[in-house]
Structure 1
Amino acid sequence: MSNDEGRRLVSRTIEGVETLVSTESGEIFVDIPAANSRYIRVEEGQTVQEGDIRSQTAEELTSESLRKWTVETIGPKTVIGTDQETGERREWDRESLEQKLAIGSLSTVLADFERVNVSGETKPSDREDRRSDEKAVIVTVYGDDSRKFTQTYRLVDDDAVSDERRLELVESDDRIGRFETALQERFERAVELALRSEGYAI
């Protein structure tokens, strides 16, 4: 499941990796790398900041020593932001900013989940209340800050004749529980829609 329809994407090499980037004004969209589901999306009004969200914790990124900017305008060639501490205006070359986001020297704040992959696998269980060959349904959710989050479900009624097979959550990424309420709701809605499209219900 993804919401990429309507975006004009062009290929660009960043740090030797083929990457797809949007050419539209008003939004930065970077597929990193092009063959993967990871992506970065920044809209006007959102925040970009120093630091790599993929290798640093949210607590580390709140450090006052890391600069943060509110993105004011995203044009075809330049991006303008305002320093959240000093109010100073900053202008980036758009390609340069896309590269910094792709390699992790700048990050954006997690705001949405446009891509979700659902896969199934049979795996041995380490729990007494589960069959040894139980089928697990793995849901991988990709956030717009380039991170991914995984949840594992088990089939509750594998032999049911219903069109929707019911699932029960058995393992969840700890970071999901720390989302603010609105973000948690967007995450749950993205997961529910992806599972429903595959014939599952939770």
Structure 2
Amino acid sequence: MTTDREREMEPRTIEGTDALVNVESGEIFLDVPAASPRYIRVEEGGTVREGDIRSRSEGELESPSLRKWTIETIGPETVIGTDRKTGERREWERTTLERQLATGALSTTLTDFERVNVTDRKGDDSNERSVVAVVYGNDGEKFSRTFRPVDGETGGEERRLEPVDADDRIGEFEDELRERFDRAVELALRNEGYAV
């Protein structure tokens, strides 16, 4: 989790959906919809690409026919990017780029996890229990990891858990991204009184 700083967020309606939008330079941060833990964040130096990661696979978005830009500058009114293939500069009105990211015309690449929801679930059998961590990536995707209590724990201050199941896509993360994912989950579990 990269930042604990306060953002200056402004409510907007994007394509009929209530959203919160960061209005500061240097970063695009969208809560879409505003009532959801999903978010999209693009920083200067990040990537914006054609296509919607929420409805297409990573392989489909790697198509040579889909363009990618490295974001050079994020200002209050405009965003400037450089086409990765041609080197051509492109300028967007910031609100246009925000709308395209929110609606899926454009996506960013997964680089971080800033939000994690932890839920303690009891099964039909009162002894059957699991803890699920739902992890939200900066590209609008979500991933889950399931844990179970370690046998013999008496429930002191820290309740120990062991992983039992995870979203298959997590196994495809590169090492650095996997470390960020694991840190985000560990911190969220620790905040809820669990240890892994």
Q: Map Cα deviations across residues 128-168 of structure 1 (whole Å, 9 max, x no partner).
A: xxx67411101000000000101111111464143111111
Q: 1:183 is matched with which residue: 161, 174, 177?
A: 177
Distance 2:14 2:139 in 1: 17
What is residue 127 of structure 1 aligned with on the other side? none
Q: Is 1:51 the equivalent of 2:51?
A: yes
Q: Provide runs of 4+ in structure 1 moved above 2 Å.
A: 1-5
What is residue 101 of structure 2 aligned with on the other side? 101
Superposition deviation, residue 111 in structure 1 = 0.5
Q: Is 1:162 the equivalent of 2:156?
A: yes
Check whether the contact 2:153–2:160 (CA below 8 A) recurs between aligned residues.
no
Q: Is 1:29 the equivalent of 2:29?
A: yes
Check whether the contact 2:39–2:139 (CA below 8 A) recurs between aligned residues.
yes
Check whether the contact 1:46–1:70 (CA below 8 A) recurs between aligned residues.
yes
- For the residue of structure 2 that corresponds to 1:99, the secondary structure is helix
- For the residue of structure 1 that corresponds to 2:76, the secondary structure is coil
Distance 1:28 1:158 in 2: 47
Task: Name the aligned partner's letter for residue 51 of structure 1.
Answer: G
What is residue 146 of structure 1 aligned with on the other side? 140
State the percentage of identical aligned residues: 62
Q: How many residues align?
A: 196
Distance 1:50 1:133 in 2: 47
Question: What runs of 5+ residues in structure 1 fail to find an aligned partner?
Answer: 125-130
Distance 1:161 1:89 in 2: 57
Task: Name the aligned partner's letter for residue 144 of structure 1.
Answer: N
Distance 1:21 1:4 in 2: 17
Q: TM-score, normalised by structure 1?
A: 0.93
Check whether the contact 2:161–2:194 (CA below 8 A) recurs between aligned residues.
yes
Task: Name the aligned partner's letter for residue 167 of structure 2.
Answer: D
What is residue 70 of structure 1 aligned with on the other side? 70
Check whether the contact 1:29–1:42 (CA below 8 A) recurs between aligned residues.
yes
Check whether the contact 2:147–2:163 (CA below 8 A) recurs between aligned residues.
yes
Task: Name the aligned partner's letter for residue 190 of structure 1.
Answer: A
Distance 1:158 1:195 in 2: 19
Q: TM-score, normalised by structure 2?
A: 0.96
- For the residue of structure 2 that corresponds to 1:76, the secondary structure is coil
Q: Map Cα deviations across residues 169-195 of structure 1 (whole Å, 9 max, x no partner).
A: 111000000000000000000000110
Task: Name the aligned partner's letter for residue 199 of structure 1.
Answer: G
Q: 2:188 is matched with which residue: 190, 194, 199?
A: 194
